[in-house]
Structure 1
């Protein structure tokens, strides 16, 4: 953490805002220079919306009993870790209990991590007079050895058709191995969409037990094939179950439906976002299908942290321009479905709370205003204006 000016300890948020509710960059740099970028990335309401508490684990910012339970369960499993963990860290909820696999295999993974499997090392820890060596290679039998490091296990994994190989280091634990396999994709034509790690590990485990108790052994390719077949069978069963539960779900992707634009004073908004510079170009077009009455404009915003924030700023800017033009009735079109859904359903998005509050207050000034999602193909002119504005401002164009 960087230095904090002593006077900053008595500051309020309002002390860092200008009279028109914009960030006072000079004061931020004076009192909180280490946090200048983070603070300016926040977008407070410009219409004086009241502050509100938000529930950080959900993007809506609204608490639910389910999210509260999940957050508590995660904290209890990982007491030293924060609720929001980096992608590189093991997460009980994400990597075990919410993973798309059989409930039996979730319990199997949990048992492996907790040291509950009757492996040689675990049995000796419990005072049992059992061999602690791998029945195949006579190395110390641990979970990592049995499932990844044993030469037999390595050969099994070599027969699993991953898009890119997954490398397991000697000093890894089972949790770290699960994290490494998160993005492991199975190549076609196998067609398995669920994680393969639980199925292959289970196949290795049952093969190990057959060797010990029945003195039966199978070649590595057969063990790998069993795991793949079980995963594919479970995958297909889930698809059948979903189709029976929801018979109206279309089996093919529905064709793109064109939205009617024949409304009074249609206004189109869009944004282009530069992920490197954290800058957004926004644009709006009013009455684009009436050439003699068409109006358009664009604006640049700095310190924009996401594409969703960029789209929110573009929509607010478009509404403000409509008010300046004296428009009383309009339909606002945007190709950001998440934003339109939040506005229509009057739900919240915590990162855009202030902007959404402004949009709600500005909407009350119209006699009639509607918000409509349209496919990007019907918003190309506005998209071009937004990108053109961003390009004119900076040569970097890594649009997202």
Structure 2
């Protein structure tokens, strides 16, 4: 157990998640019989009611867990996995046999996804028990994707982060910048795309409403629309700034961050290859705040269209 704890302690995740994994290893997270002794409730799974409540069931066998694992980029059939004890689940996350020989980046991506999924499922379990809120697999997947991307961005070293700008002002190098962001909820999305000459000088913008299945798809569609706008307007030298680090990193590595988005991802790569002086860079949320506010406004009002600098003033001031 000490060696496992040492590995957990060294993980680039939050202290809360480290403690969660430690408790799982020690099998002291309250499932089934423990909950019954405290609250007098049934020992059946509070999400599906199909089996005894346990770590194995919640994290791998419950229909909710199975759907999210299979929807992940690894398309894992979690119902085929079996573990002797909760500790073995953590060992599997740390050293997945099916990724044997993979590089550290791939292993890290899988670990972040798995840890965030465990955490999201436990949260869904508790909300179902205490608040009678029924989770959906799409909702859980969206939370996991977002949480894993946050962990990645929080520990990404500037020296290893090609195409990543931690200072929002650093994206302004003489060329115009397209600030992009997406708003997403309940399979609906809106893109905010703002042309910026400098941090305080916005010249025009575009908003587009569309359907999307997950936040990452919404962010991908924003970039596709931004590059199409560059092509239509003849903007051959442009920086496109996004706060979606997972997607920007995937574009620089030329590796789709989610297999379900591979078609649109490679379409975007081909579009960018045709515009070699159009660069995609990551910047913190503060760097794309104008696009973020425009996307939220367009989403709330179901508005698509073009906006002048004057039109933008009241929208980005909100």
TM-score between both structures, scaled by the size of structure 2: 0.46
Structure with larger Rg:
1
Specify which structure has the higher proportion of strand.
2
TM-score between both structures, scaled by the size of structure 1: 0.37
